[in-house]
């Protein structure tokens, strides 16, 4: 499959060693990911107790491992598979696979603190997908066609609801694969909000600027449907790689190449059965369909709640009164398929969105200011999108200004980013207490704050509305802020942290240091 990419990208051949030496784990689909996690204590559990996908499943996992911006009490915990789903005797549901940085590290191979750097490397060393024969595609082991008697999407797949206010059942990890109507090899993959509306229809929500929406608009202008496959239950490298956004992945860049770069081998695709499109060959579930031209539906047309579903900022979104419609043509699955989902505001979204955010910022800062930015963390409190912590190492007085330049680059490269906190190299950017310590001792509000007003942000932030801020004219506009919590270079010697004797504490408390890998999750 041809791939548009800048000339600076390097294509990695299958089997070629990772340039950074990270050990690539033996994962190529969801099932191999689960098998890997089963070998790591505390990272995966299953239950045979029956669960209702309507509200109950999310309510249970909220306490077990949702984390993120979910209303407390919540925690970061294991991924969980529910083996008995009420009303669906042949289905299983997995939640929380990526709801832990420690778990993502195990699944991708890089240390927790280097995941963004690993993603940046994969973005540079792309591996394009390949198409395989249908006989080699597990996703088509079982086939349901929409023209079959009794076909009903609502009875085949246990789409969950998260709360009683939800507009309806949602597929929360449906990776939509679409192509330019005039060039099928110009392909994009993104995760979208998909609400089940009827036996063979779903609504789809597009945030502004999404490439598949541009494909949809182009097809609609020609009066034609847009063929898409909706892929669920995937190798986590595919999901995370798909979350890169422009300008890091420009129009025409297929994000499946990033997943290939992470694994050192191409993602396998297969031709769909009912539409002119491809699907992820090793997916658990594929929905084949067409986005209809000039057809719209209210998101809460069945429930009339006025609400959509919980979104990553921690609030339940407002139902959209007019969304495009996907007409389902077929569903294909593996035998005994696993429907993969997430709790909307939780830590899983932080991993999905945040690690590519870190990579995008790291790439551009290193290109513009080599050696200054040591690491980036897309903080959980912003859902992996709104807040970034930049760790810098100043080398001269000139870097006092360059640190703010790095923050401006971060805001430019990731438009949904709202706030940036800059810290020195002696501050643990993954430790919120340490970051706030830097703010208390190395920051003065009127001196070290930079405001950038009237800039595009994210429509799901409830503070980015004219009702909240009368100065702005449209939803999704905000003031962005840089908090410089670094020491001026000439004062570095006066801001030295207390130094302690360097010893091996495990000699005195071995049980506390059995796992010496530094982790935020325990």
Q: Are 231 and 338 in contact (CB under 8 A)?
A: no
* Domain assignment present for 421: yes
* Domain assignment present for 505: no
Same domain, 106 and 168: yes
Among residues 311, 358, 364, 416, the one annotated as catalytic is 311
Same domain, 324 and 424: no
User: What are 522's two structure tokens?
Assistant: 């325990």
Same domain, 319 and 417: no
pLDDT in tens, 104-141: 999 999 999 999 999 999 888 889 999 999 999 999 99
Three-class SS of 456-514: ECCCCCCCCCCCCCCCCCCCCEEEEEEEECCCCHHHHHHCCCCCCCCCCHHHCCHHHHC
Give the SS3 label for residue 24.
Answer: coil
CATH of the domain at 72: 2.30.110.10
Q: How many CB atoms lie within 10 A of CB 143?
A: 14
Same domain, 241 and 326: yes
- Note the residue count of the chain: 522
pLDDT in tens, 312-340: 999 998 999 999 999 999 999 999 999 99
* Domain assignment present for 2: no
Q: Is the pLDDT of residue 15 over 60?
A: no
* Domain assignment present for 332: yes
Q: Are 338 and 375 in contact (CB under 8 A)?
A: no
> 276-302 as b/e, with b when 16 or more CB fall inside 10 Å?
ebbbbbbbbbbbbbbbbbeeebbbbbe
Q: Is the pLDDT of residue 18 over 80?
A: no
What is the model's pLDDT at position 245? 79
Same domain, 249 and 178: yes
Same domain, 190 and 318: yes
* Domain assignment present for 431: yes
Split at pLDDT 50, 70, 90, the class of 2 is very low
> Whole domain around residue 450: which residue ranges?
369-497
More confident site: 12 or 38: 38
pTM over 0.95: no
Q: Is the pLDDT of residue 50 over 50?
A: yes
Same domain, 188 and 320: yes
Q: What is the mean pLDDT of the chain?
A: 93
Residue 56 is among the residues annotated as catalytic for this protein:
no
242 CA to centre of own chain: 7
Q: Considering 293, 314, 348, which residue would you say is the last residue of a domain?
A: 348
Tell me the percentage of the chain whose pLDDT exceeds 70: 94
130-131 sheet: strands from edge to edge = 130-131, 268-271, 278-280
Same domain, 110 and 206: yes
pLDDT in tens, 53-68: 999 999 999 999 999 9
Helix (H) or strand (E) holding 292: strand 285-297
Q: How far apart are the first and last CA of the chain?
A: 42
pLDDT in tens, 420-433: 999 999 999 999 99
Same domain, 176 and 298: yes
* Domain assignment present for 338: yes
Number of domains in the chain: 2
Split at pLDDT 50, 70, 90, the class of 8 is very low
Rounded mean pLDDT, 179-186: 94
Q: Which residue, among 321, 338, 249, 286, has the nearest Cα to 34 in the 3D structure?
A: 338
* Domain assignment present for 18: no
Same domain, 335 and 405: no
What is the model's pLDDT at position 513? 84
Same domain, 39 and 181: yes
DSSP annotation of 63: I
Bridge partners of 390? 376, 422
Split at pLDDT 50, 70, 90, the class of 252 is confident
Q: Round to whole Å and give the CA distance between 231 and 242.
A: 12
Same domain, 313 and 385: no
pLDDT in tens, 76-101: 999 999 999 999 998 999 999 999 99
Q: Round to whole Å and give the CA distance between 295 and 167.
A: 19
Residue 468 dihedral angles phi and psi, to the nearest 5°: -80, -40
């Amino acid at each position: 499959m041809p791939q548009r990419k800048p000339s600076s990208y390097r294509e990695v051949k299958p089997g070629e060693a990772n340039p950074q030496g990270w050990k690539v784990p033996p994962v190529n689909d969801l099932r191999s990911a689960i098998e890997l996690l089963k070998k790591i204590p505390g990272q995966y559990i299953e239950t045979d107790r029956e669960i209702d996908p309507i509200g109950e499943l999310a309510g249970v996992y909220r306490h077990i491992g949702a984390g993120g911006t979910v209303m407390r009490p919540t925690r970061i915990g294991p991924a969980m598979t529910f083996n008995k789903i009420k009303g669906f005797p042949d289905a299983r549901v997995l939640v929380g696979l990526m709801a832990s940085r420690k778990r993502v590290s195990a699944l991708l191979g890089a240390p927790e603190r280097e995941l963004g750097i690993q993603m940046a490397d994969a973005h540079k060393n792309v591996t394009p997908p390949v198409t395989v024969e249908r006989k080699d595609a597990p996703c088509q082991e079982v086939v349901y066609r929409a023209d079959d008697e009794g076909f009903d999407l609502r009875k085949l797949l246990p789409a969950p609801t998260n709360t009683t206010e939800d507009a309806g059942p949602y597929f929360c990890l449906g990776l939509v694969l679409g192509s330019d109507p005039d060039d099928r090899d110009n392909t994009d993959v993104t995760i979208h909000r998909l609400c089940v509306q009827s036996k063979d229809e779903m609504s789809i929500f597009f945030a502004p600027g999404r490439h598949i929406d541009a494909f949809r608009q182009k097809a609609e202008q020609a009066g034609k449907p847009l063929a898409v496959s909706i892929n669920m239950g995937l190798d986590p490298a595919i999901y995370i790689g798909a979350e890169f956004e422009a300008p890091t992945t420009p129009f025409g860049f297929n994000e499946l190449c990033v997943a290939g770069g992470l694994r050192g081998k191409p993602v396998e695709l297969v031709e769909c059965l009912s539409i002119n499109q491809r699907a992820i060959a090793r997916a658990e579930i594929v929905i084949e369909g067409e986005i209809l031209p000039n057809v719209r539906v209210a998101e809460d047309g069945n429930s009339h709640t006025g609400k959509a579903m919980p979104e990553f900022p921690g609030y339940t979104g407002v139902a959209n009164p007019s969304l495009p419609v996907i007409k389902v043509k077929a569903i294909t699955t593996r035998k005994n398929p696993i429907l993969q989902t997430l709790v909307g505001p939780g830590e899983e979204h932080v991993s999905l969105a945040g690690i590519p955010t870190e990579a995008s910022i790291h790439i551009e800062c290193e290109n513009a200011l080599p050696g200054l930015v040591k690491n980036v963390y897309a903080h959980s409190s912003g859902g992996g999108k709104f807040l970034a912590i930049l760790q810098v190492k100043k080398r001269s007085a000139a870097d006092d200004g360059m640190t703010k330049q790095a923050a401006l680059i971060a805001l430019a490269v990731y438009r949904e980013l709202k706030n940036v906190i800059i810290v020195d190299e002696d501050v643990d950017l993954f430790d919120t207490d340490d970051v706030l310590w830097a703010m208390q001792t190395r920051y003065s509000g009127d001196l070290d704050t930079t405001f950038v007003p009237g800039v595009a942000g994210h429509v799901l932030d409830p503070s980015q509305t004219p009702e909240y801020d009368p100065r702005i004219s449209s939803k999704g506009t905000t003031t962005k802020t840089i908090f410089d919590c670094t020491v001026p270079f000439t004062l570095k010697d006066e801001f030295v942290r207390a130094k302690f004797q360097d010893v091996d504490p495990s000699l005195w408390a071995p049980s506390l240091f059995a796992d010496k890998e530094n982790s935020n999750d325990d």
